[in-house]
Amino acid sequence: MSFLSKKSVLEEFEKAKASKTKEWRDNLPTWCPGCGHFTGLHGLYEAAETLKIPPKDFVVVSGIGCSGRFPFFIKGFGLHGLHGRAIPIATGIKVASPDLTVVVVGGDGDGVGIGGGHFPHAARSNFNLTYILLDNSIYGLTKGQISPTSPMGMKSGTSPYGNIARPINPTTLALAYGATFVARTFSRERDMVSELITKAIQHKGFSFIHDLSPCVVFNKDVTYNSLNSVTATLPDDHDVFDRSRAMALAESTDPIYQGLFFREEIPSFDDHVQKVKDGLNQPA
């Protein structure tokens, strides 16, 4: 049964109606029916509900692209900024006001294309941010061109003879950059998405979620069906504190694993800042 069958859609709809996340809902989403981003948005509602984040303390920062519209659909503070620049803006907000819950949302073009230079530094600084990268392997808002995560050979308006470059794997990048919480999800698995977004927000430090979120309109290569056949949950015995094992599993393309790859408990950026400030305030 296809994920998009009428029965499945109706079931999801009933489930959504029953959830208690109304407090965080704002404008109706403008995405195409079947878009993977609905799951990520729902996950964020559920995380806010579970963690009881007051809308006044909830800030969602996004870049440009289909995923960039998140702030308008969430009751909280939102900043829909520039293409690729959500991370630095969120950093400024969080460092200026550390008590806020700040979530960055962006797409693959936004995060590992135009904004690819910001991701490593936010990860290595261990800013207390959650970064959700919704990966549809395409530029959707410009109507279907290859992105940094598109597979080799993929044809599009800007790659009529096929994509020549190899795709970037955002999960392995996050691990290499030193992110202290790294997970991959698939928008088909709604509960896993919600659970991992919740855990990511709870994490003290830079948490990263690579959400495979197919574009049902423009991407004919990376689809629900193509991903269905290769995705698998991480082995039960995977040790989430083992970075090199996490890296090996993250590199696998068949299967493409989902779940929490890696977690590390080290002082966050805020902890380091506090330590410096405490030291300065001590009487000489």
Given the rule CB under 8 A, which residues bind other proteins?
26-27, 55-61, 64, 71-72, 74-82, 85, 87-97, 99-100, 117-118, 120-121, 273, 276-277, 280
Q: Of 14 and 99, which CB lies nearer to other proteins in the complex structure? A: 99
Angle at Cα 11 formed by Cα 194 and Cα 133, nearest 5°? 30
Judge contact between 193 and 257, C-beta under 8 A: no
Which residues are CB-neighbours of 93 under 8 A, at least 6 positions away? 59, 61, 79, 100, 102
Residue 81 or 170 with smaller CB distance to other proteins: 81
Give CA 221 to chain center in angstroms. 21
> Judged by CB, which is closer to other proteins: 95, or 176?
95
Contacts of 8 (CB under 8 A, 6+ apart): 1, 2
d(CA 31, CA 22): 19
What is the phi/psi pair of residue 89, to 5°?
-65, -45
Q: How far is CA 111 from the centre of its chain?
A: 10
Shorter beta-carbon distance to other proteins: residue 1 or 96: 96
What is the nearest approach in angstroms of other proteins to the Cβ of residue 223? 29
Among candidate residues 12, 19, 62, the one with its CA nearest the CA of residue 33: 12
CB of 47 to other proteins, least distance (A): 17
Residue 119 beta carbon to other proteins: minimum distance, rounded to whole angstroms = 10
- In three-state secondary structure terms, 105 is strand
In this complex, which beta carbon is closest to other proteins, that of residue 99 or of residue 236?
99
* Single-letter residue type at 183: A
Minimum CB–partner distance for residue 204 and other proteins (Å)? 18
CB of 241 to other proteins, least distance (A): 28
Q: Which lies closer to other proteins via its Cβ, residue 87 or residue 246?
A: 87
Smallest distance from other proteins to CB 95, Å: 6
**Per-residue tokens: 269:** 């950026």
